[in-house]
Amino acid sequence: MTEPLPTRSCDVIMKGGITSGVVYPRALARFARDYRLRRLGGASAGAIGAALGAAAEHGRGRDGGGFEALEAIPEQLGEGRLAALFQAGPRTRPLLGLMLAATGHDAPGAASSGLGRARGVAAALLRGWPVAALLGALPGLAGLALAVVVGGWAGVGVGALALVVLLVGVAVGAGVGVARTLTRDVPAQGFGICTGLGEPGGGPGFTEWLAHTINALAGRPDEAPLLYGHLWTGGEEVADVAEDARAVDLRMVSTCLTQARPYEMPWAARTFFYEPREWARLFPAEVMAALEAAPRGRDLDVDASWEDEAAAALPRPLRRLPDPEQLPVVVSVRMSLSFPLLISAVPLWTVDRRSDQTRAAVRARRAGRDDGPAPQFQKVWFTDGGFCSNFPVHLFDDALATRPTFAINLGSFLPGRVPQDDEARNIEWSRTNAAVLPSHRDVPERGWGAVTGFFGAALATSREWTDATQLSAPGMRDRVVRVLQSDTEGGLNLFMDGPTIERLAARGEAAAAALTGRFTGEDGRGVTGWDNHRWVRYRALMAALPTWLRAYAEGRAAMADLDAADPPSYPMSVRARDVAADLDAALRGAAARVDDSGSSAGVGDLTSAPRPLTVLRRTPQL
């Protein structure tokens, strides 16, 4: 018998963290006991969690799908099966071993350090580049042979010098091999050691596993890939649906390195093309078939048709990405999960509007000439969404909340602390209106650790400051839970054993239980955490409005010389001007109320809490 659907709804956002994603399946299943998951988002491994949760919500009540299947995923990834999903290509395989050895994650258990890590790196170099190491060793070997011939104390001196030359030569030779792999083989494979597809005889890679798992959770294991349109309609129909009417809304972040900016996926932009031969090295055959079968984009104008014709006529033809509802979910997940060096970046193409050739092509087209050149295309690289927003807590923020947006953060235990047997003690969350203390990162002050620690902290801060700053804001901090991890858990620990994965999965469930318990539970007055959250959000917005309204009134007064009926650009219809005039009058009236001398005390009280104050500003849609 099918269980009744929860009457409540919620949104969930998850942070990126490579293998830390094993936290999310049971957390999402725990949320799903009390809520329908309406909107899910994340970046990197958080995007995986979001996609699996969205698929499970779509498959709720379907044979083989839903949250019962989602809960079983951590158990399926133990005993080396997680590491088996990350398969390096033949030429980049040695680099994977070196990378894991250098970070101390080349075996289960605690990350090695000091001498143990040095031994691991040396072994990885010799295994990965034996010929280069041997060539580098030849001068030293020749010196050792000479020492044997010379004999005596002179031979000992020659032998000692030859041994030094041997060790240096091995290091230099292997280093040359590493440099060759890094500069030739890694760029040729999309700047990654693993493409995401399985290698011959190695079983499925993580992209293939993702594609299969997403479909299985959605209750369509043997059908074509799950599309965004399926999520939006909640059934088998594929259609564009307004955001507020979607059955399940899934969003994630990817980073365009070429344009130095993030993008929110699925995007409405129709400016990107893909090369099928390139993408066939990154996506399974069934995903490529779904892209090929997607109908032509809706409402494309004649200029877009001209670009499509030019793209199809290239020696290596390009195809425009389909409309969002026709995009396979696994495509955007893979574009969000491209951890630098470990996983290949994803190439797309766009018309090069700066090139002289494109400008000449546009001029010829506008002049009605057929003898103009074709537009020129340029490659753009997309990589891990965590570069710009590893914890995109802003994704579903509205002026006032109509349902909770829960967020699962990831953090590390402080030095000296170890995981407790009770997983509820391995998480941090706010039980009051106060904020959880910010994460803390120790920076050594001596040795190489001081240098690497300082610059590592600087890099992390440059990536995460925007996300981290929001976590202390009122109306944000009470809906975030931080799941703590030790050095042997999550991150680059590809070789986590079954019990470790099970503990992380249970910790995720405890995190979700903490938030749902707070938001659904009542205090002594019968007030739920959800009641309090809505009130705090309202108070925070009211506290921010006076400053914004004053700034609006000042700016509007400075526009007195501009005529809305004859503007410099972006003219408005009569109907639009009428609406704008009504809104303008309301805003100026509100600003006047704020500045009224009789309201100063009330405005002061209004802006006195909650702290810290937030600000209202326009930001572009990613």
Residues assigned a catalytic role? 44, 384
Q: How far apart are CA 12 and CA 27, in angstroms?
A: 10
Q: How far apart are CA 264 and CA 241, in angstroms?
A: 17
Nearest CA to 218 out of 206, 229, 208, 230 is that of: 230
- Can you tell me whether residue 383 is helix, strand or coil? strand
Q: How far apart are CA 178 and CA 170, in angstroms?
A: 12
Residue 420 tokens read as 């407790």
Q: Are strands 273-274 and 480-485 parallel, antiparallel or unpaired?
A: unpaired
Q: Are strands 341-343 and 192-194 parallel, antiparallel or unpaired?
A: parallel
Four-residue CA torsion sign, 223, 227, 232, 237: negative
Our CA angle for 102, 104, 108, nearest 5°, is 140
The string of DSSP letters for 80-142 reads THHHHT--B-TTTHHHHHHHHHHTT-SSSSSPP-THHHHHHHHHHHHHH-HHHHHHHHHHHHH
Q: CB neighbours of 601 closer than 8 A, spacing ≥ 6?
A: none
Q: How far apart are CA 510 and CA 428, in angstroms?
A: 11
Residue 26 tokens read as 């049971």
Q: How far apart are CA 41 and CA 272, in angstroms?
A: 22
Our CA angle for 372, 376, 378, nearest 5°, is 175
CB 608 within 8 A of CB 472: no
DSSP code of residue 276: H
Residue 60 tokens read as 């709720």
Q: How far apart are CA 139 and CA 126, in angstroms?
A: 17
Asked whether the bond before 266 is cis by omega within 30 degrees of 0, the reply is yes
Q: How far apart are CA 58 and CA 390, in angstroms?
A: 25
Backbone angles phi, psi at 484, to 5 degrees: -90, 145
- Can you tell me whether residue 249 is helix, strand or coil? strand
Q: How far apart are CA 230 and CA 240, in angstroms?
A: 10
H/E stretch holding 265: strand 261-265
Q: How far apart are CA 425 and CA 433, in angstroms?
A: 20
Q: How far apart are CA 131 and CA 143, in angstroms?
A: 19
CB 69 within 8 A of CB 487: no
